[in-house]
Amino acid sequence: MKKIILIPDSFKGTMTSGEICSIMETAIKRIYPEVQVISIPVADGGEGSVDAFLCAVGGEKKTIVVKGPQFEDMESFYGIIDNGKTAVIEMAACAGLPLVGNEKDPRKTTTYGVGQLILAAIQNGCQKVIMGLGGSATNDAGCGAAAALGVKFINFDGEQFTPVGGTLKDIAHIDVSSVNEEIKSVEFVTMCDINNPLYGQTGAAYIFGPQKGATPEIVEELDEGLKHVAEIIKSDLNKDVATLKGAGAAGGMGAGMVAFFDSKLQMGIETVLDTVNFDKVVSGADFVFSGEGKIDSQSIRGKVVIGVANRTKKANVPLIAVVGDIGDDIEAAYDLGVSAIFSINRVAIDFKFAKTRAKDDLLLTMDNIMRFIHRIKG
């Protein structure tokens, strides 16, 4: 046994990806103390994404004062990896829902600070920006971020302003002639794991607005604003983001990243795998261990385990999924490259009790798997 790779997603509400890697490595080293263990924590673009990337590939965290979701000054951060060439930004770091506390109102919140983080990274020499979407308090379609980088939004009175969710309807014209020049040569990749369109019954406002504090009436208002900004983007920027899959992510930030930054939207796991050069790292590995809180039919559509399995299958390396729970209809996972699936649930108890013993159960499950591997491989 020479090399084992660990690349699990977090078990939501139970263990972070980093914690899972640590527990897995402990079990592996008990049986194979000399084996090389490579840990690649995975984050989905939301809170913790910067730390996950820094843990996986090394780098530096930069702190900077930017505008928070209510235009207040706050200390935020971004990560620099790839020898200073790539920035990793999680929009939740300055536009996240926890930052507004009990004052939730997606009509008033902004992504302006996200744009300031982008600008700081570019001015620091970064040539690529990986943007993580998730956990936002906003519904401004990324207009705030765009404004911070020089995009001008003009209202029907001819005045320049910074749109928020409640004022998207007031945009009469978008002027990109003054956009920061440095941004034009930067590559943007946006981690986006949802397929929601920008507006409509499955769009940003209807699906995600209520959790951000929107009443049914506010949801309708926000949805009209998103529809309006899509029309202006199409007429002024010649980009159609209305039905783009993922456009509705993070209050329309998915659409904004495409419209204002020419970003591509990509599954989070694909971004991670590309960034850590997984296809090279996996070469010569004996096993890959992945996992997530629950593997089910939704997982088959491209979440972490299946995303990793697609790569390990090509490399002919066995992938073992260690998960919290196993749902129905997951047989397709085996055809997609998963060699075996194990649940850490050792007794039949409710989740509220199971999560209190999850770390111990994970360690015991991994110990069991490694004992079996040792028995057959020696």
Neighbours of 340 (CB within 10 A): 12
> Which run of H or E residues covers position 283?
none
Instruction: Give me the mean pLDDT over the 266-279 stretch.
Output: 92
User: What would the CATH number be for the domain defined by 49-268?
Assistant: 3.90.1510.10
Taking each helix axis from N to C terminus, what angle separates 49-57 and 268-275, rounded to the nearest 10 degrees?
A: 30
- What does the pLDDT look like over 209-238, one tens digit per residue? 999 999 999 999 999 999 999 999 999 999
Neighbours of 238 (CB within 10 A): 7
Topology at the third CATH level for domain 3-40+278-289+299-321+329-350+360-377: Rossmann fold (3.40.50)
User: How does residue 355 score in pLDDT terms, banded at 50, 70 and 90?
Assistant: confident
| Domain-wise residue ranges, the chain | 3-40+278-289+299-321+329-350+360-377, 49-268
Of the candidate ranges 179-183, 202-206, 225-229, 339-343, the one whose mean pLDDT is the lowest: 179-183
Rounded-to-integer distance, Cα 193 and Cα 265, Å: 9
- What does the pLDDT look like over 119-173, one tens digit per residue? 999 999 999 999 999 889 999 999 999 999 999 999 999 999 999 999 999 999 9
pLDDT at 243: 87
CB-neighbour burial class of residue 187 (10 A; exposed 0-12, middle 13-18, buried 19+):
middle
Rounded-to-integer distance, Cα 192 and Cα 250, Å: 9
pTM over 0.75: yes
Is 344's pLDDT higher than 80?
Answer: yes
- What does the pLDDT look like over 3-31, one tens digit per residue? 999 999 988 878 989 999 999 999 999 99
pLDDT at 75: 98
Q: What percent of the chain has pLDDT over 90?
A: 81
Instruction: Give me the mean pLDDT over the 50-73 stretch.
Output: 95
Joined together, the tokens standing for residue 377 give 């491989």
Phi first, then psi: what are they for 302, rounded to 5°? Answer: 130, 25
Q: Which residues contact 86 (CB under 8 A, 6 or more apart)?
A: 80, 126, 127, 128, 129, 130, 275
Output the CA–CA distances (angstroms, integers) from residue 167 to 21, 66, 113, 156, 213, in the order listed: 44, 22, 18, 11, 17
